[in-house]
Amino acid sequence: MNLASAAGITLEALRRRCAGVALLTAAEDTAPYLSDHRRLYHGRALAVALPQTVAQLAALMSCCHELGIGVVPQGGNTSYCGGATPDESGQQLVIGLGRMNRVRAIDAANFSMTVEAGCLLEQVQRAAAGAGCYFPLELGSAGSCQIGGNLATNAGGLNVLRFGMARDLTLGIEAVLPDGRVFQRLRSLRKDNTGYDLKSLLIGSEGTLGIITAATLKLWPQRHGSSTAFVAVADVGAAIALLALLRGAAGERLNSFELLPRAAIELACRYIPDTRAPLGTASAWYVLCELGSFVDEQLDELLQNTLAQATSAGLVQDAAIAASEAQRRAFWNLREAIPEAQRRAGPGVKHDISVPVSALPAFVAEASAWVAGHVSEGTLVAYGHAGDGNLHFNINWLGGAASAADVAAQEPVIRRAIHDLVAAHGGSISAEHGIGRLKVAELQRYTSAVELDMMREIKRALDPKGIMNPGKLLGS
Ligand code: FAD
Ligand code: 2HG
Ligand code: ZN
């Protein structure tokens, strides 16, 4: 039997056994699901399935398990490592979660909410605000990524310093396992020491262990106020000293601490309309930091005093505190515009790395020197969540300095050098974006044999037929 008729028989079986699940097969319908948002990965698929209920998804998975069909869960398709794109075989089933998008419950007194995986992050934030609460996960992609995808990648973002990663924000998970069984652990408990923490295993598993269908999330009271500053600093060492000063003075109120090089500001201002540099002072590095509080406090005064102290200590060259919500928004828009500006500016290589915060200055110095010595046409645009020790150590080839193919040819050597330096500083080669397809070999290289064994054993135990997102994370 040829592949086309085998696929036809498989699809017929899925249609018969999974009533109610929309199955897209027409090229114009499936196209948006077959490549990633950066158009770096392209695949083919047997079909795209769009279940609407947990029961439908469970029936679908049970059928896929029986027939040995590889499945690729897909949320908002905003991730960076190709994890949501099927392979080239045309034999895998993409399962889109977008139709499972109900807010199931909000318990304001318990500061928790239960939402389905297909809710957009922005929808979750709005629903929390509507109940007088605050959900602190914040990413530039909030309007298009889904909470299921956020949990599957254990997303980080702009508020990790104060509130933690997606895993830290989660009380309970519901998921369909590879054989169609439903893992139901939507408890909204802060304390629950009953055996292995299975929800934490599913969070960050990038669709390789099961499909997350719902989550119970932690909420906070609505924030009372914030104070946001854009600060010019001489170098990374000064930024890290400023971080320590701010943590000492503001404690838990320090929500965000982003490090931005001048190159990133220039790219954003050049490629993204309505963005402009907040400070006249030209500096090599800038910090965007924000204090937030749940009670009525003089945050501007606290930030101003701390920045004055930092200026006296020679750490700060210039600073502006947002005088209005519009100005605050403008600071953040500038920051959030950087990934899109990089995309428009030309081909690039991305590294989503973390090192201990104390090691950032040395890492940046060494890695920048390597780039300067080995990547002659590339412009370093290293920015990100310095308060968490996480930088997007990206390099762009601007204004036609190299073709995408030339950059792709150089990428393995560059990546190896940067990641070896990360490892030498005790860091991680994936701080927040995950492994997907992009970093399968990197995970093997920088992870101990014992850890890899444990991961493979967990994978085999939960997915013995290897149908969950084949080829991703642990590879084949
Ligand atoms: P997808 O891209 O659809 O999928 C990601 C992975 O999760 C895939 O492996 C997929 O198979 C799996 N998956 C998706 N849904 C499910 C599910 N329900 N069950 C099981 N597996 C599933 N990321 C950060 O961490 N921090 C940032 O600051 C940040 N900023 C960004 C800014 C921009 C402008 C963009 C475009 C992206 C940014 N990202 C950031 C990356 C991305 O938005 C996150 O990784 C996000 O969590 C992915 O969610 P998604 O719904 O798009 O998932
Ligand atoms: C961010 O922090 C995202 O803006 C994207 O994680 C980073 O594009 C990148 O490299
Ligand atoms: Zn980031």
What's the CA gap between 385 and 156, in Å, rounded? 9
**Ligand showing the shortest atom-to-Cα distance for residue 392:** 2
**Which of the four pLDDT bands, split at 50, 70 and 90, describes residue 6?**
confident
Kindly state if the Cβ of 141 falls inside 6 Å of ligand 1.
yes
pLDDT score recorded for residue 376: 84
pLDDT in tens, 101-135: 999 999 999 999 999 999 999 999 999 999 999 99
What's the CA gap between 112 and 106, in Å, rounded? 6
Amino acid at 230: F
Kindly state if the Cβ of 146 falls inside 6 Å of ligand 1.
yes
With beta carbons less than 8 A apart as the criterion, state whether 256 and 140 touch.
no
Which amino acid residue places its CA nearest to atom 9 of ligand 2?
A: 339
| Length of the chain in terms of residues written | 476
**Ligand showing the shortest atom-to-Cα distance for residue 264:** 2
> Which residues touch 27 (CB under 8 Å, ≥6 apart)?
none
What's the CA gap between 464 and 68, in Å, rounded? 10
The mean pLDDT value of the chain amounts to 97
What's the CA gap between 417 and 422, in Å, rounded? 9
Assessment of whether the complete model's pTM goes beyond 0.95: yes
What's the CA gap between 390 and 364, in Å, rounded? 11
Kindly state if the Cβ of 207 falls inside 6 Å of ligand 1.
yes
pLDDT score recorded for residue 1: 59
**Ligand showing the shortest atom-to-Cα distance for residue 211:** 1
**H runs (alpha helix) in 112-235:** 121-130, 147-152, 160-163, 198-202
pLDDT score recorded for residue 3: 67
What's the CA gap between 251 and 109, in Å, rounded? 26
pLDDT score recorded for residue 374: 96
pLDDT at 355 exceeding the cut of 80: yes
CA of 139 to the centre of ligand 1 (A): 10
Kindly state if the Cβ of 149 falls inside 6 Å of ligand 1.
yes
Percent over 90 (pLDDT), the chain: 96
Nearest ligand 1 atom to the CA of 472 is 9
* DSSP code per residue over 155-171: ---TTHHHH--GGGGEE
pLDDT score recorded for residue 233: 98
* Strands 93-96 vs 71-74: parallel, antiparallel or unpaired: parallel
Q: Which of 338, 344, 383, 396 to mutate to test the pocket of ligand 2 (most atoms within 8 A of CB)?
A: 338
Kindly state if the Cβ of 256 falls inside 6 Å of ligand 1.
no
The stretch 386-410 carries a mean pLDDT of 94
The stretch 82-88 carries a mean pLDDT of 98
CA of 392 to the centre of ligand 2 (A): 6
Nearest ligand 2 atom to the CA of 433 is 6
What's the CA gap between 207 and 203, in Å, rounded? 9
pLDDT score recorded for residue 96: 98
Nearest ligand 1 atom to the CA of 78 is 52
Q: Is 141 helix (H, G, I), strand (E, B) or coil?
A: coil
Kindly state if the Cβ of 430 falls inside 6 Å of ligand 1.
no
Q: Which residues line ligand 2 (CB under 6 A)?
A: 140, 339, 350, 384, 392, 394
What is the token pair recorded at 328? 């605050």
How many separate helices (H) and strands (E) can be counted in the chain? 15, 19
Kindly state if the Cβ of 135 falls inside 6 Å of ligand 1.
no
Closest residue by Cα to residue 417 from 455, 373, 377: 373
Q: Which of 392, 415, 429 to mutate to test the pocket of ligand 2 (most atoms within 8 A of CB)?
A: 392
What is the token pair recorded at 7? 């696929």
